[in-house]
Structure 1
Amino acid sequence: MKKSRIPLVLLVIISALIITGCSTDTKGDANNPDSTFPQLTEVTQNLKSYNLESSQENKFEVDFFEFDLGSKEYLSQAGRIMPYNIKGVIGVPKGEGPFPLILITHGSHSNDDESKRFDTGFDYLVKSLAANGFITVSMDMSKPYIWKYGDNDDNEKLLPVADDHITSLKSAHAGNNPGYPLNLQGKINLDQVALIGHSRGGETIIDIANDQVSKGIKIKSLLAIAPTFYFEREWPDAEIAILVPEYDGDLVGLDGFNLYRALNGAGQNFHSITLLMKGNHNYFNRNIERNDAIMAVGKDGIKDQLSRGEQEEFLTNFAVDFFNSSLLGKKESFLNPQTPQPNKMYGFDVKTMYKANSSVSLMDANSLASLQGEGVQMERKIDSWFFKFDEVLIDTITTGGGPDEPDHPFLTKPLINIKWEEKGSKVSISPLVTNFKDYNSLTLNLVIDSAADLNPQDKAQQFTIAVQDQAGNSAKIILPENLNALKPTPGELDSTPLLDTEIIFWSRPSPLASINIPLGELSNLNLQEIATIDLLFDQIDTGSIYLESIYLQ
């Protein structure tokens, strides 16, 4: 029987096909989900430290006046009569208009002396905002805080005073001037109204906004400066920016962070919080002399605090940028998902967090199920101001509840403690959502464990964030050195006896901060199919952090 012969040319063709079919050196587009054989890529880059610059233009000359439109009375729900005058200071840009309107509410800085004025302490802010195109009024709100007219009901009594100011401005805009020292006819854009509040006023502007909505005036944005936070309420449909000074000796618990957390829980419109490092409570208002920072950090701590002039400079820039963004739509002028979190704003050190109402959570701090570690210790922890629930030495700021309200939403804060003792350790997180395509940024909220010896005390932590898609492409982002978000909070371990135990704690609050990675930095990945987010501890040998959340926005 004859054996069949295969032509030599055919053997060559078959061999070539076999070799081609087995090759792993394939070509394709890593960003194209329809590509059959994508080429795997690994891109490593250093994230640059970001400094947000001022958008102030000061292009308008300003008419600035004090005004007094006459006296009124208010009968409170407690049956107390409160006399007051509709007075304050106003700054108006010289131009045709109409211009957006901003009203400022000061805090409770005197409860017995009716002669003290705190509205005029914001004259510099009124002038600056007016120079940038905003009609600005700082309202005299002293009477609602005076004890003899009723105590602890200022949130009620501030509402009619604010309403009288807004009603008077509406009349002036319509051509019926009730007594302002200049003509405001046609000058005010009543569809672009915003509020600023300081201290107690920083919380009360939320009530003013809600009250005005019921009267047909929609407040578009609110700026709360060193605000109190005493109770929850309905939240207005407005953008809210919170500014908290690190050395706040009046509100040593940094209440603004609890307000921010409450806004998170309510799924509020875009809201942000900025910690102004080394700033105090009182220096935002020129009429308050006391340096309250001593109460927060002691005499030694105030050696590096910001001056009054520096805090005024920061606030004017911050306010102009926020209202350019929230009222005029210039989103690039303020915190936004297209940029990393600022390490500095206008040259001043800050820590920031922000959240959009379209944000999506990628992990659950109540569980370790989606986390895998190599060379790390991971443990679920609870932070709480109530000692029976508290499991961490640092105070990331909680509020509410107590033994009678163990389920209060802000009494506890779940955290994941991640410790490493060897460079090269890592944590891999499987995100709850894998399609990142329609979002702008990846945000991590965390805090350094300042009480842990594993962290260097003289510099910031540093590590790499790596994101991998399901095809195996990887983008590594090395975080910059000296990132404020990764700096330990200065302080020391302290203790106090309580009942039959001793409570040990870090001496100063350690609020969370954000690391924000614009998704444009992950250009080599297929963002529709993300597999893991890794924290690579490859820059500093040891460390300990608390991770609170990761989300897209």
Structure 2
Amino acid sequence: MFKKHKFKFIFIIVMYCIASVFIHLNNYSSISIFNPPKQLSNPTSIVETLAVSGSTGSSLKVLTTTDAAFGIQDITIGVPSSDTNPIAILLHDDVNLSYLITHLADNGYLTISIDISSTFINNTTSIDSALLNTLFTNQIKNIVEEVDNPASELYNKAEFSEVSLFGIGTGGLGAYYLTISPPDTSLLNLSSTLLVAPNLSSLQDKTTTPDTPIGIILPQYDGLVRSLDGQMLFDLWAFSDELTAPISCVYLLNANHNYFSDVYDFDDSLNVPYSTDNPNRLIQSDQQKFLTNYTLDFFEYYNSGNNITNIGLDTGVIAPNTMYGLDVLTSLSTPDSLPIISAVGTISESFNELGGTNNMNNASISYITESYIASYDEAYGFQHPGLPENLGLLKFSWTVDTGTLTTTIPAQYKDFSGYSSLSFWIALDVANNLNSLEYQSIIISLKDSSGNIEHVLLDENSVALTMRK
């Protein structure tokens, strides 16, 4: 019997051994030919925003209020046709945002536009925060009275438990002040804050931790806030142990400041060096379309958890390279993150933040600092958005394909089951001749306690590894 089926048994055994070796190599090998790296890709997302299915129709109203401290003020309000709507409050300094008010109101937000320039100190971009709080509180009380008044067009139109705050330019400074020092919580509950091209040059309070999710939009060619102050705010809290709510940042490529307004049509990107060489600068309608879509999706994400469009707020999906057809760079930091490798000093060259060792093979790692002050700048051609004074960076370089950096996770931190994603904040050093190609690629290898190895390829599909011209 055995002799009769001898060759079948041998064949089965040989195939079993081959399959076992293949599975072993596929799971445990550090050689990519046996264990090929995976390429990251997002599942197909719905390109349109929530506006497509959520539109309810609206009307614009002007509410005239009289205040002992501020005199007579006209407040533009977008009123949805539906009742008990969430609220969006837009703070600005004499900026026409009619298109945004209409869009949010059409999609079910009672939208209130408030000019806060009366709280500026001596016509500067500094804000009297106490005066701002008074102005804001008084106007909210006026809205509450209207919503409670059966004879008012605003009757029963608002739900004060879901309030989203928006600030643009110096209005962004005001929105941030109200986020870290909110008014009477019996009036409203703040669910999120979005800062667009914020002018934070006179920000005084950099120690009070915001406990509300904050989003930031930075136009690449901001000719009015050329220091891109929002990046400073993101860096301040993204690397802080005191972070208590998510903070995100969207760097909108080829955009300027003025085109977010309905009135100003001067291309302020012309104030930014080298922007005139870029033929891809955005037109006003594209920027406004982006802002309406992103603002609505941002507010909806933190009000109801709706995330039809990937706008970089969900750690469970890959950060997008584009939004609504426009190129972006996105960053997100959440309070439950575990930093592994951070640039905290020269010690970061040898050890990660968890105490594990960094080992180099045919590669080098060095701690450097970037500063807008030339004598302190060690990053040279690399330019982080904004004006960092002493930004720590880790420079990783290799000259052969076998160059590796291996970081070890100490035993007490090896259980990662409570985490949903792994984030890398990386960028190409455009001044380094090693990066003369259009892009670079790296392979990230993860090895668990059982010896299983997973390889992930980051290549030209990763916007962070694409050479910026």
Shorter-chain TM-score category? Answer: 0.7 to 0.9
Name the structure 1 match of 2:260: 284
Q: CA deviation at 1:353?
A: 0.5
Contact 1:375 1:425 (C-alpha < 8 Å) held by counterparts: yes
Q: CA deviation at 1:301?
A: 2.9
Name the structure 1 match of 2:416: 436
Contact 2:195 2:215 (C-alpha < 8 Å) held by counterparts: yes
Name the structure 1 match of 2:72: 85
Contact 1:270 1:357 (C-alpha < 8 Å) held by counterparts: yes
- SS of the residue corresponding to residue 202 of structure 1 reads helix
Q: CA deviation at 1:390?
A: 2.6
1:175 pairs with 2:153? no
Return the letter of the residue paired with 1:239: P
Q: Deviations over 1:17-49 (max 9, x none)?
A: xxxxxx99979x99xxxxxxx974745321126
- Counterparts of 1:66-145 in structure 2, within 5 Å, are 66-74=61-69, 83-95=70-82, 97-107=83-93, 117-118=94-95, 121-145=96-120
- SS of the residue corresponding to residue 427 of structure 1 reads strand
Name the structure 2 match of 1:56: 50
Contact 2:51 2:293 (C-alpha < 8 Å) held by counterparts: no
Name the structure 1 match of 2:372: 385
1:196 pairs with 2:174? no
Name the structure 1 match of 2:434: 454
- Counterparts of 1:433-512 in structure 2, within 5 Å, are 433-456=413-436, 459-490=438-469
Question: RMSD across aligned C-alpha pairs, in angstroms?
Answer: 2.8
Q: Within 2, Cα distance between the matches of 1:461 and 1:85?
A: 59
Q: Deviations over 1:517-545 (max 9, x none)?
A: xxxxxxxxxxxxxxxxxxxxxxxxxxxxx
Q: Within 2, Cα distance between the matches of 1:195 and 1:358?
A: 24
Q: CA deviation at 1:103?
A: 0.4
Q: CA deviation at 1:163?
A: 1.9
Cα 1:479/1:210, change in 2 over 3 Å:
closer
Name the structure 2 match of 1:223: 194
Q: Within 2, Cα distance between the matches of 1:313 and 1:214?
A: 34
Q: Within 2, Cα distance between the matches of 1:25 and 1:289?
A: 66
Q: TM-score normalized by structure 1?
A: 0.70
Return the letter of the residue paired with 1:309: S
Cα 1:26/1:475, change in 2 over 3 Å:
same
Return the letter of the residue paired with 1:93: P
Q: Deviations over 1:46-66 (max 9, x none)?
A: 112678634323433333224
Q: Deviations over 1:316-360 (max 9, x none)?
A: 111111111011122464421111010111111110110111111
- SS of the residue corresponding to residue 97 of structure 2 reads helix
Return the letter of the residue paired with 1:197: G
Contact 2:27 2:453 (C-alpha < 8 Å) held by counterparts: no
Q: Deviations over 1:487-526 (max 9, x none)?
A: 3343xxxxxxxxxxxxxxxxxxxxxxxxxxxxxxxxxxxx
Q: CA deviation at 1:91?
A: 1.3
1:262 pairs with 2:236? yes
Return the letter of the residue paired with 1:327: N
Bigger helix fraction: 2
- SS of the residue corresponding to residue 322 of structure 1 reads helix
Q: CA deviation at 1:420?
A: 1.6
- SS of the residue corresponding to residue 454 of structure 1 reads helix
Cα 1:299/1:442, change in 2 over 3 Å:
closer
Contact 2:27 2:454 (C-alpha < 8 Å) held by counterparts: no
Cα 1:40/1:377, change in 2 over 3 Å:
closer
- SS of the residue corresponding to residue 155 of structure 2 reads coil
Q: Deviations over 1:88-131 (max 9, x none)?
A: 22112212x31110100114xxxxxxxxx42xx21111111122
Identity among equivalent pairs (%): 23
Name the structure 1 match of 2:299: 323
Q: Deviations over 1:392-424 (max 9, x none)?
A: 11232576xxxxxxxxxx742221111122223
Name the structure 2 match of 1:524: none
Name the structure 2 match of 1:46: 39
Return the letter of the residue paired with 2:263: N
Q: Which has the larger radius of gyration?
A: 1
Q: Deviations over 1:291-327 (max 9, x none)?
A: 1101113463352101100001111111111111011
Cα 1:84/1:424, change in 2 over 3 Å:
farther
- SS of the residue corresponding to residue 220 of structure 1 reads strand
Bigger strand fraction: 1
Return the letter of the residue paired with 2:322: K
1:272 pairs with 2:248? yes
Task: Specify which of 397, 401, 407 is matched with residue 423 of structure 1.
Answer: 401
Q: Within 2, Cα distance between the matches of 1:386 and 1:268?
A: 32
Cα 1:449/1:147, change in 2 over 3 Å:
same
Q: Within 2, Cα distance between the matches of 1:437 and 1:187?
A: 44
Q: TM-score normalized by structure 2?
A: 0.82
Q: CA deviation at 1:382?
A: 1.7
Q: Within 1, Cα distance between the matches of 2:298 and 2:425?
A: 22
Return the letter of the residue paired with 1:283: Y
Q: CA deviation at 1:255?
A: 1.2
Q: Within 2, Cα distance between the matches of 1:105 and 1:477?
A: 43
Cα 1:395/1:156, change in 2 over 3 Å:
farther
Q: Deviations over 1:209-268 (max 9, x none)?
A: 344344533311000001123331523321111110111111222111111012222413
Contact 1:293 1:302 (C-alpha < 8 Å) held by counterparts: no
